[in-house]
Structures are given as structure tokens and as C-alpha cells.
A = this chain, B = another copy of it.
Amino acid sequence: MPQTSIREVAKRAGVSVGTVSNVLNRPDLVAEATRDRVRAAIEELGFVRNESARRLRRGPERTAGEFGDQPRRAFGVVVEDLTNPYATDVARGAEAALNASGHDALWLSSDYSAAKERRSLELLEEQRAAGVLIIPVDLSARDISGLRTAGMSVVLIDRHTPDVCSAQVDHVAGGEIAAAHLLGIGRERIAFVTGVPEPEPCVERRDGASRTITEAGSAKPATLIQDAMSPTEGQAAAHQLLELSPRPDGVFCANDLLAIGLINELTRLGIRVPEDIAVIGYDDIELAASAAVPLTTIRQPRRELGWEAAELAMAELGEGKSHQHRQVVLRPELVIRESA
């Protein structure tokens, strides 16, 4: 007895399969007595509708917005690293938007691997998810158009190409703001700390910062490249930093985790932050405010970013053919605390 099907429920309740289906999908079409009988049968048999069959029959989800109940759909949220608070915040924003509209979010992580990324997309495609929100690691146009022909909406986060919807933060501006702040508090020898693989947005931050700095007439910033963007690597960066000559008096870290590790180690080595070296992070994760030296940082509107991305995805789904790809760009914001 492989599975309880609608047919057995029908037999048990003494009705036809069509009626059971109606109880499931349009209960108002069924007389109360019958409905109860069917429900009881469902209960007793522990019946669960086979979503595969349902979807097979239904085909590409109807244009939504029909009368009555919304078609609850699943969207995939693919991020590079579920351990990174930045990524999880973005994803939570997306999930919130999705939930608010009665949809669901499935999280997948690509772990910075193009292969895992591709596999995740495949999985979503096989499951016939409604759409994907993705912080891409290495997405080709081909992958995307594949998804598209499978009828899924695709939204890029933190990256963009003309023929897909995307939501991103203006990282160049973020870099500029950070550099301008460092310059503004009188720092002249600025270093940049980042990690490999260096995500596109970090490159942009770096470019923005670099330009601002050289345009202001200061020396091109030294760049310290670590193995990852974690606090541990930030610690390591502290030592490298002190070996630089001339020793920098301002540091711009590609993310807060690096900054926190860096500051902690610097403090332990007797260097005062911000007096000796000012440090500015990027992201404004929760920990930034309650760090030993509260971190000055660039806040990304991450929840909003995820939220916007989800809105785009849902819109794309609703609009069908007439859809015009949109690119949302949010602006980051300087949060001044104590580290710079």
C-alpha cells in the first residue's frame, strides 16, 4: 500500500474523486454534510495530497490573483554563505516579503562554489519553484536563460546584468563614503583589508574608496588580502598591518567580521583604536554595535535589499510576458560609532 490517494478517501467517504478534490480546493462548492464526511475520511486515513500530481496536472501556475485563495508558492533564496550575517539578513528580508504575500522561502547555500550554485539552481528547477533570488557566485547568462525558459522568475542580488531583475546596494558609493569619512577625520595613510575569493561588491567598494582617496591627493591605499572574510582572518590582518611602512593610520575593511577581528587583535597588541589606527567596517551587522570598540561602519540596508528582491520576483511572476526587467539600487549609509 504505497500511498493513500484521493481515490481511497473517496471510497471511504462514499463520494467521487472529483468531490474530494473539491473539498480540498473549493470547499464552498461542496455541501456541508459531504464536506464533513470527506474531511473525516481524510483525517482517518491520514491523507496528504501528493503535490507532484497536483502540480503536474495544474501545469504552470495560473496567473495568480484569481478569486479566493492565493496559490502558495516556493521561492528559492540562494546565498553564498549561510554563515555570513550579511547574507542571512538579506535572506531574511526576502523571506519576510515572501511570507507577507503568502509564499515560502527555501534557502540554499552555494558555499562560494560555482558547482554547488549550479546544483542549487537545478534543484529549484526540478522542484518547479516559482522563482529564485540569488547572490551569485558565478552565474552565466546561459544558466539564467535556462531558468527563465523553465518559467521561473530570477532576481539577482548584489550584481546586475541588463536582462534580469536585480536589487543591489551602490557599493561604489559605499566605498566613497567610507574613504571620505576616514579622510575627514584626518587619516592619510589608508589600507584596505579584504579576502578572497573577493566578491564583486567588495571590488566595487575598493574601487570607490581608492578613487576617493587618490582624488583627494593621498597615496593609493595598500591592500591586504586574506584567505577569507572572517574575524580570524581579521586577526591575521592586524599583524600584517603593523609590518607595513609607513604604518597606516586608517583601515577600511571589506566587512565587519574582518574589522572586528582586526580591532580585537590590535587592542590586544596595545594599539589604540581609533587613536592610533581608525577602523571602519562594512555591513553594520548586529555585533558591530556591541563590539569591544563599537564599530563605525557602512550600513547596508540588507533587509530592504532582500525585501525588494523578493518584491521584484513576485512582480515578475505576476506580470508574465509584459514584464520589464527592473534594477533597484539602494544607497548605503554611514554609521558613526567609536572605531573611526
- Copies of this chain present in the complex amount to 2
A interface majority secondary structure: helix
Cβ of A80 within 8 Å of any chain B Cβ, yes or no, is no
Cβ of A231 within 8 Å of any chain B Cβ, yes or no, is yes
- For the complex formed, measure the closest distance between the CB of A319 and the CB atoms of chain B, giving whole angstroms: 18
Q: A53-B56, A108-B106 are in contact. Are A127 and B289 (CB under 8 A)?
A: no
| B residues in contact with A104, CB < 8 Å | 108, 119-120, 123
- For the complex formed, measure the closest distance between the CB of A37 and the CB atoms of chain B, giving whole angstroms: 21
| Chain B proximity mask over A86-98: 1 for CB below 8 Å, otherwise 0 | 0011011001000
Q: Which of A82, A104, A149, A265 has the most CB of B within 10 A?
A: A82
Within 8 A of B (CB), among A47-93: 48-53, 55-56, 59-60, 74, 82-83, 85, 88-89, 91-92
Within 8 A of B (CB), among A180-234: 230-232, 234
Cβ of A109 within 8 Å of any chain B Cβ, yes or no, is yes
Which residue of B has the minimal Cβ distance to A106?
Answer: B106
Cross-chain contact of A92 among B83, B95, B119, B232 (Cβ < 8 A): B83
Assembled-state Cα–Cα distance A53/B291 (Å)? 52
| B residues in contact with A50, CB < 8 Å | 56, 128
Q: Which of A125, A268, A287 has the most CB of B within 10 A?
A: A287
Q: A89-B83, A126-B51, A287-B287 are in contact. Are A60 and B151 (CB under 8 A)?
A: no
Assembled-state Cα–Cα distance A116/B264 (Å)? 38
Assembled-state Cα–Cα distance A231/B291 (Å)? 9
Within 8 A of B (CB), among A101-128: 104-109, 116, 119-120, 123, 125-128
Is the CB–CB distance between A83 and B88 below 8 Å? yes
| B residues in contact with A127, CB < 8 Å | 51, 74, 127
Q: A3-B151, A51-B126 are in contact. Are A265 and B287 (CB under 8 A)?
A: no
Additional A-B contact list (20), CB under 8 Å, known A50-B128, A52-B52, A107-B108 = A3-B59, A48-B150, A49-B126, A51-B125, A52-B55, A52-B56, A52-B128, A56-B56, A82-B82, A82-B91, A99-B116, A104-B108, A104-B120, A106-B106, A231-B286, A232-B286, A234-B290, A264-B291, A267-B292, A292-B292
Chain A contact residues, CB within 8 Å of chain B: 2-4, 46, 48-53, 55-56, 59-60, 74, 82-83, 85, 88-89, 91-92, 95, 99, 104-109, 116, 119-120, 123, 125-128, 146, 149-151, 230-232, 234-235, 260-261, 264-265, 267-268, 286-287, 289-292
